[in-house]
Amino acid sequence: MLGNLLAMYLSKLELQGFKTFAQKTALEFMHNVSGKRGVTGVVGPNGSGKSNIADSLRWVMGEQSMKLLRSKKSEDLIFSGSAKKPRAGFAEVSMTIVNDSNPEIDLPEIVVTRRLYRDGQSEYEINKQQVRLVDVALLLAQCGIGQRTYSVIGQGMVDAVLTAGPAERKEFFDEASGLRPFQLKRQSAMLKLDGARENLHQAEVLLREIEPRLSSLERQVKRLKQREALEQELQTLEREYFGGVWSELRTHLAQAEKSAKELKTDFTARSHEVEKLEQELERMEKATPVSSELRELRVSIDALKEERAKLREQQIRLESRREVAQVQAKHGWSPLPLSKIIERIESLSRKQDELLAEFEAAKPDWDKAKKLAQQVKEENSKLLSQLQQPAPEAPKEDKGAVETEREMAKLAKDMSAVASKVGDLETKLQELNAKEDRSRSELFELQRKLTAKRHEAQQAEQKVSAAAVDMARLETRRESFLMELRQQAAQAENQLDELADQAGKSDEASQPEALRSRMQRVRSQLEWIGGIDPETMKEYETTKARFDTLSAQSTDLRQAIASLETVIAELDRTIKEKGDVAFRELNREFGVFFKKLFNGGEAELEKIEPETLAAEAEEGEEGEAEEKVGEARQQPAGIEIHATPPGKRLKAIALLSGGERALTSIALICAIMAINPSPFVVLDEVDAALDELNSRKFADIVDSLADRTQFIVVTHNRATMNKANVLYGVTMGDDGMSQLLSVKLDEAGANQLKT
């Protein structure tokens, strides 16, 4: 235990908003100076707030008593503000403990934080993780640290051990001597033992109550044993019947599901084909509008119409001129009259208009168009032949007639050219017509395929619907079967597949009606015998299970009681052995430190057994003697302190002076620290009541114990300051805040020697 404690030390203390430490303040502590654990001194004038450092350590370790924290309410722990500094919203203290080699704790560094807000909310953290107060107390207990032991000794606690009663001293010494864990284990074992005995008593009472009822239930169950054979037969028949029916249903369902799946796949494929054909049809329908060649042909025809109109105007003018020439002619040549020419040209124009209208129609009649084109061609040829007949020479002196004939000839030539172009257009129209016919033929073929595929898809869909109807019929049959199963043999529902596999190997399973008939006969026999009251069977099973459980619990409790009694006996031996050793060491060390402090004298500790306390109680008043004796015999053994300073014969603690009581308390505390050192000890003005000589003695003792325990000493004495490795000075300005100044005395002394 000693090695484990020495493997830990207090590294750092951080305060913010705690009492007078409004600003964040950090104290770092020495832990290894010349082979010692280190002594840190905290000094300062009265009222500077130096004792608040000890209070902060006690508070962060979980102290709940406002009296020990020198406050009336929790809000007093938060900096209340001053004329120059507003009050703080929370108080926070963090304590850092370094774990070098303690195997019981797997954390190399432990940072315990406690935080308090003005609304009363409190938080605890271990290494930045929020925990409960009990978690903090448990961890610190594993470290050998506790706020109620001698880890933090305040100004008013020095004399507390001396003024306490023998039993209270015993508890303090047991905890300081390291016996408290064993005592807690014994206390826990005793509580478990009492609980086990109480549980055993209750179990035995219940067993006595249950046993008669269980016997009655067993007699009732025996009368129903004759049903077991019929029930077993019925169960076998049910397994064969339901297994056979399920095997048939399962096979048909599997086949129907497979067929439905295949039909659905076929329907899906045909639907996709229909969809593709519809897309192709839509594409071809979009591509069927009048082609660009047809549009160009129409433009050409329009141009010919305009040219034809111009030619007609020229023919009318020339005809007028020629008629004048014919009147003057003296020979018998009779040219084509102008009215006939105009009539022929108008007829030819009407046929061309009809031909053009037929081309522009949405659905042209190609036979009619061909016929009109042929008529246009014949009319044009006939007109040209008549217009191209040679005319007699006009008299030389009639130059106008000659000119007119020339223009007429040229006009005839132009008309011939127009007719030729019309013929070319007819040829192109025929070719375009053939091309359009081929496109429409492909479109009609695609529509025919689409209609056929749609019909096939409809047939596939009808097959899918028929398969779905078959599936629904089989599923309805399955639901009826399962309903019958749940009514008659619900326990077999989870084994249907296994029953079906077994039924496939049985010949009887193929005859479900015969099995059903036999099942009905067996059920009738069971009804004739009489129905089993399910509550009676349930009550019997429950009562039997409870009786068996209580019997087993009684056996386990007896074994647990025996085991706990053994553990308690071992703990008692351990506590007694370790307690005797610790008491002897504590008594020896107490005498040694007492003599150091008093330069002689005698001091010893005396155990007071319960019988002694009872005997003292019997000496009291008669009316209260019996009650006090009973209480005394139940109390634990106590410890009495005897101290005789040199030159005196007094042993009673109450007769010592204040200084002698302080020295005696310090000697006792030092003895405890000597036999079971804590990782660190905070002494808050423990030496305040000592004179200069005793202060030096106290400082020497602290220095001698520093190789085992890390000390943080709040003091005014120079002797104690001289033993400190680090000295923190606490001051307070007019803003009401405590501030720190630190000096490492070893380095300061070395620098002074160098100079």
**Who wins on pLDDT, 503 or 146?**
503
294 and 356 in contact (C-beta within 8 Å)?
Answer: no
**Residue 612: pLDDT over 60:** no
What are the tens digits of pLDDT across the range 209-245?
A: 888 888 888 877 776 766 777 777 777 777 777 777 7
Highest mean pLDDT: which range of 426-435, 530-539, 716-725 = 716-725
**Residue 8: pLDDT over 50:** yes
DSSP-H helix ranges across 28-147 = 51-60, 133-142
pLDDT value of position 79: 92
pLDDT value of position 562: 93
Concatenate the DSSP letters of all residues of 494-513 into one string.
Answer: GGHHHHHHHHTT-SGGG-HH
Cα–Cα distance between 563 and 554 in angstroms, integer? 14
pLDDT class of 397 with cuts at 50, 70, 90:
very low
User: Please, what sign has the CA dihedral across residues 487, 490, 492, 493?
Assistant: positive
Residue 49, classed as helix, strand or coil, is coil
pLDDT class of 96 with cuts at 50, 70, 90:
very high
C-alpha torsion 76→79→80→83, nearest 10 = 160
pLDDT value of position 358: 67
pLDDT value of position 147: 52
130 and 633 in contact (C-beta within 8 Å)?
Answer: no
Residue 53: both structure tokens together: 């450092």
Cβ-based neighbour number of residue 460 at 10 Å: 19
pLDDT value of position 635: 46
**Residue 37: pLDDT over 60:** yes
pLDDT value of position 89: 92
Residue 289, classed as helix, strand or coil, is coil
What are the tens digits of pLDDT across the range 286-295?
A: 665 545 666 6
Concatenate the DSSP letters of all residues of 435-481 into one string.
Answer: HHHHHHHHHHHHHHHHHHHHHHHHHHHHHHHHHHHHHHHHHHHHHHH
Q: Which residue type, as a one-letter code, is found at position 649?
A: R
DSSP label of 636? P
Residue 677, classed as helix, strand or coil, is coil
Q: Which residues is 95 bridged to in the sheet? A: 13, 112
Residue 511: both structure tokens together: 């005859």
What are the tens digits of pLDDT across the range 626-652?
A: 444 444 444 456 788 888 888 777 666
Highest mean pLDDT: which range of 444-448, 588-592, 653-657 = 588-592
pLDDT class of 182 with cuts at 50, 70, 90:
confident
What are the tens digits of pLDDT across the range 320-367?
A: 666 556 655 544 445 556 667 777 777 777 777 776 776 666 566 666
Cα–Cα distance between 731 and 739 in angstroms, integer? 5
Residue 719: C-alpha distances to residues 350, 692, 693 (Å)? 144, 8, 9
pLDDT value of position 627: 47
**Who wins on pLDDT, 401 or 188?**
188
pLDDT value of position 417: 77
Residue 611: Cβ-neighbour burial (10 angstroms; 0-12, 13-18, 19+): exposed
Q: Give the mean model confidence (pLDDT) for residues 716-728.
A: 87
pLDDT value of position 225: 66
**Residue 4: pLDDT over 50:** no
pLDDT value of position 60: 92
Q: Give the mean model confidence (pLDDT) for residues 593-601.
A: 86
Highest mean pLDDT: which range of 169-173, 387-391, 616-620, 685-689 = 685-689
What are the tens digits of pLDDT across the range 150-169?
A: 678 776 665 677 777 777 77
Residues 6+ apart with CB under 8 A from 442: 284
Give the mean pLDDT of the chain.
76
Token look-up 């010349």 returns 34
Residue 353: C-alpha distances to residues 258, 430, 431, 720 (Å)? 69, 18, 21, 136
Going from N- to C-terminal start, the domains of the chain cover 231-285+469-509, 291-438
pLDDT class of 520 with cuts at 50, 70, 90:
confident
309: Cα separation from own chain's centroid: 92
Residue 751: both structure tokens together: 């620098």
Residue 385: both structure tokens together: 């032949």
Q: What value, to the nearest 5°, has the Cα angle with vertex 141 and ends 139 and 143?
A: 75
